[in-house]
């Protein structure tokens, strides 16, 4: 997918400086690797930026100060890589059980110089690690089981952030023990960003 609008032009209205350079590098890596390994589906550079990278950055305002992020089922690094690229005070773990995607994530973390570890594992098999301030989930199913697992891995005041739909939010609201806040994802009529916080009453 050579030629066309360059990534810098597509991203410059949203980020600048070192974050822009990291995201441009990441988009280029995604494009090159996807030609061989089908990491993520997109028909144009505009679609890659808008549907995947900017969609991932919808959660960036939630990452204040510094903290630790866990991206479950990271795949091609969405949303974990864009979030860590624009929040350099944050560190994280990108969790991905598939070998080719794990290899891509290791390359992305190295080239973007992110403060992240890449674990080739399912979330159920992840060993002991420090609590996380934010756990992100995008394009991973079985949210009820995942939320049960995530509850004990959150730091105080931590939250789970899920990219979902209107119907998905309704299903999340039916899971006991969580307070659910949601907002619309731009560009997607039914897309919602759901924030889940454990409650104990």
- CATH number of the domain where residue 83 is located: 3.40.50.150
Is the pLDDT confidence value at 188 over 70? Answer: no
Residue 46 falls within a domain, yes or no? no
Average predicted confidence (pLDDT) for the chain: 93
Q: Taking each helix axis from N to C terminus, what angle separates 143-151 and 166-173, rounded to the nearest 10 degrees?
A: 50
Q: Both tokens of residue 5?
A: 């609008």
Residue 45 falls within a domain, yes or no? no
Domain that holds residue 66: 59-198
Residue 9 falls within a domain, yes or no? no
Residue 39 falls within a domain, yes or no? no
Residue 8 falls within a domain, yes or no? no
Is the pLDDT confidence value at 2 over 90? Answer: no
**Does 30 carry a binding-site annotation?**
no
Q: Both tokens of residue 174?
A: 């039916």
**Does 78 carry a binding-site annotation?**
yes
Residue 82 falls within a domain, yes or no? yes
Helix (H, G, I), strand (E, B) or coil at 154: strand
Q: How many domains does the chain have?
A: 1
Residue 78 falls within a domain, yes or no? yes
pTM of the model: 0.94
Helix (H, G, I), strand (E, B) or coil at 14: coil
13-40 tens-digit pLDDT: 999 999 999 999 999 999 999 999 989 9
Q: Both tokens of residue 69?
A: 């992020």
Q: Give pLDDT, residue 120.
A: 95
Residue 13 falls within a domain, yes or no? no
């Amino acid at each position: 997918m050579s030629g066309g609008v360059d990534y810098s032009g597509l991203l410059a209205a949203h980020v600048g400086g070192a974050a822009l350079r990291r995201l441009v590098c990441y988009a280029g890596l995604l494009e090159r690797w996807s030609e061989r390994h089908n990491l993520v589906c997109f028909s144009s550079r505009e679609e890659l930026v808008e549907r995947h990278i900017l969609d991932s950055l919808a959660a960036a305002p939630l990452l204040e100060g510094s903290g630790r992020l866990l991206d479950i089922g990271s795949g091609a690094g969405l949303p974990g890589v864009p979030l860590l690229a624009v929040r350099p005070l944050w560190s994280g773990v990108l969790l991905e059980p598939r070998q080719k995607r794990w290899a891509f994530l290791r390359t992305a973390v190295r080239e973007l110089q992110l403060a992240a570890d890449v674990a080739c594992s399912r979330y159920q098999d992840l060993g002991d690690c420090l609590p996380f301030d934010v756990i992100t989930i995008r394009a991973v199913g079985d949210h009820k089981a995942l939320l049960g697992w995530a509850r004990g891995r959150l730091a105080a005041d931590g939250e789970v952030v899920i990219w979902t739909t209107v119907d998905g939010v309704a299903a999340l609201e039916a899971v006991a023990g969580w307070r659910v806040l949601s907002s619309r994802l731009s560009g997607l009529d039914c897309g919602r960003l759901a924030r889940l916080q454990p409650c104990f009453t």
